[in-house]
A and B are shown apart, each in its own frame.
Chain A
């Protein structure tokens, strides 16, 4: 049995994996994260150092958690409208999320992706420090709440320019810094920001499965954030074997089974890495290129128990 947890009714990644599994007549349960656990009943307990228990889905079917052969979880913060006040809802959201994380983190099969393994993406500067150890180039970065340091960084990198974005995994729009922005630097004190030297080149998003499948998409854009450029163009490309191997090793060593690695190839042929996304929204790239990413993830889940037993990915604990 495979379990897919989607981030809301219309989330497309888990739905596409569901379709691929159904094509192959694999037993699968898809649930909306917001119905888990409210419309479902979880029951976990520790025994001999392992988590045991079961989940009853919609009062109809009860599955022993040992029986899941693979789990795909695209969960964000559980958002259940129960007409509670903000304080109560905040408290319960964390309670529900932590309860599920405690199981998913210790499940006896592959979980795409384990929660704690996703944490390096919570700090872009930290992740860049990890990534450079694998041979990727990384741009000059500064995280600060000090306006003077930010001005100094801007001056030092004026030739190529500077972009700014969130220091954490919070979604933000990447923008180029200009002289007018300096007037807002006094606002930095309350909220640190990531500044990065601009890297010229072509974006390549590399979806990597630890089982060896690598899907690279080239994106040509004249915007500093291609996600918001309606004139961008995309195409599937082949990347060098050495780069593929680097992506697989990096994904594995971060404790991930699937990653979306954001890179940029410079005119000199260097590959810069900006981010390793542990919960990649691959459906958009599938639509643009026809790359069978959902199919590859589905096959990885089908073989989940064997992959888990092989110990190819070390959990981050």
Chain B
């Protein structure tokens, strides 16, 4: 069985499931974590030193048994949000959120026979761009310059050092808070001490988004025409392709999405983010059918290994 692990519905992904099922006879299961928390039933039990579990999303849906799963495709970042929990009290929500997370960890991380794409806990969690850029540097991939600080003097020092071309953003990745630092923002630095911020040297270049699946790489240049993103396929240097594949194997994450800025003059690619839990719908919006074809082929190939 191939399990598609999602937190919300996706028509396109559902249609891929149907195609795989009809074309290959592989059993497909769909686990929507939001539905599970709201209306589902599950259990996990240790029997003879192994953990066995089943999940049922609603009374009339079929049981998903962990022992039947061979491939688990994690199609979106697999979080459980506190607001999903049907309790009124804030602290009850937080407590239940922890219990649900612990339950899912026990149910899935103990299944050594399942190949996860990607593992629910990858070797690098990459919570912040600080960790992301360190990882990229370890694989000889050039990165943009950043500092993470709550020190206003240091922030100002870099603002000047980088010729006043600076972006600032939240420490954690996944929050799209990036903004260009303007003169009025300098006055706000006096409040920087209450929480650190990431400052990034702003460099110009073409925006390149790279998606890796197994050993396959799709790279698209994103242009904004009348504020609408327009995506077209491009090729990356062979050396960069190799480094991306090496990195993905090191962190045991066969599916990743990365962002680069490409400077044509000196043929340099500067990475500024790596996402090990890409959102299927986002990836589909960039790459379209070439990605779905790749995904179907990859999942079936992995299943048949």
Contact = CB atoms under 8 A, between A and B. Distances in A.
B150 A42 contact: yes
Interface in B191-208: 193-196
8 contacts: A44-B149, A46-B130, A47-B137, A49-B138, A50-B134, A125-B106, A126-B51, A192-B99
Contacts of B133: 46
A1 interface: no
Contact of B103 (A38, A170, A192): A192
Nearest to A86: B90
Nearest to A48: B137
Contact of A141 (B46, B95, B107, B147): B46
Contact of B106 (A41, A123, A140, A166): A123
Contact of B99 (A82, A132, A191, A316): A191
B76 interface: no
B43 interface: yes
B196 A191 contact: no
Report, nearest first, the 9 A-B pairs whose CB atoms are least far apart: A168-B102, A125-B106, A49-B138, A41-B151, A144-B43, A123-B102, A123-B105, A191-B96, A168-B98
A141 B50 CA distance: 11
Nearest to B154: A43
B100 interface: yes
A51 interface: yes
B195 A37 contact: yes
A67 interface: no
B143 interface: yes
Nearest to A195: B45
B121 to A, nearest CB: 7
Contacts of B101: 122-123, 168
Given A41-B193, A45-B130, A192-B99, A102 B148 contact: yes
A43 B90 CA distance: 34
Contact of B150 (A41, A144, A167, A193): A41
Given A95-B171, A190-B86, A167 B41 contact: no
A240 to B, nearest CB: 22
A296 interface: no
B236 to A, nearest CB: 21
Nearest to B46: A141
A119 B121 contact: yes
Interface stretch (A145-153, A205-213, A244-252, A271-279): A145-153
A153 to B, nearest CB: 7
Given A99-B128, A138-B49, A143-B43, 13 more contacts: A43-B148, A46-B133, A92-B194, A94-B172, A98-B128, A101-B127, A122-B98, A122-B101, A132-B49, A144-B41, A153-B45, A168-B98, A190-B87
B284 to A, nearest CB: 29
Interface string B126-163: 01101101110110000101111111011000000000
Interface string A81-110: 010001000001011101101110110000
Interface string A67-79: 0000000000000
B44 to A, nearest CB: 5
Contact of A124 (B102, B109, B151, B170): B102
Nearest to A41: B151
A49 B142 CA distance: 11
A122 B127 CA distance: 17
B46 A123 contact: no
Interface in B47-81: 49-51
A39 B143 CA distance: 31
B42 interface: yes
B196 A37 contact: yes
A80 interface: yes
B229 to A, nearest CB: 27
A16 interface: no
B303 interface: no
User: How big is the B interface, by class?
Assistant: 35 or more
Contacts of A122: 98, 101-102, 105
B26 to A, nearest CB: 28
A105 B128 CA distance: 12
A83 B162 CA distance: 34
Nearest to A142: B45
Interface string A181-206: 00000000111110000000000000
A129 B48 CA distance: 10
B102 A169 contact: yes
A132 to B, nearest CB: 5
Contact of B134 (A49, A119, A170): A49
A189 B35 CA distance: 12
Contacts of B110: 125-126, 129
A128 B46 contact: yes
A145 B42 contact: yes
A99 B103 contact: no
B85 interface: yes
B148 A44 contact: yes
Q: Which of B49, B110, B194 has the most CB of A within 10 A?
A: B194
Q: Which of A42, A56, A166, A169 has the most CB of B within 10 A?
A: A42
Contacts of A101: 127
A102 B196 CA distance: 12
Given A41-B149, A149-B43, A190-B87, A102 B131 contact: yes
Q: Which of B45, B90, B146, B193 has the most CB of A within 10 A?
A: B45
A98 to B, nearest CB: 5
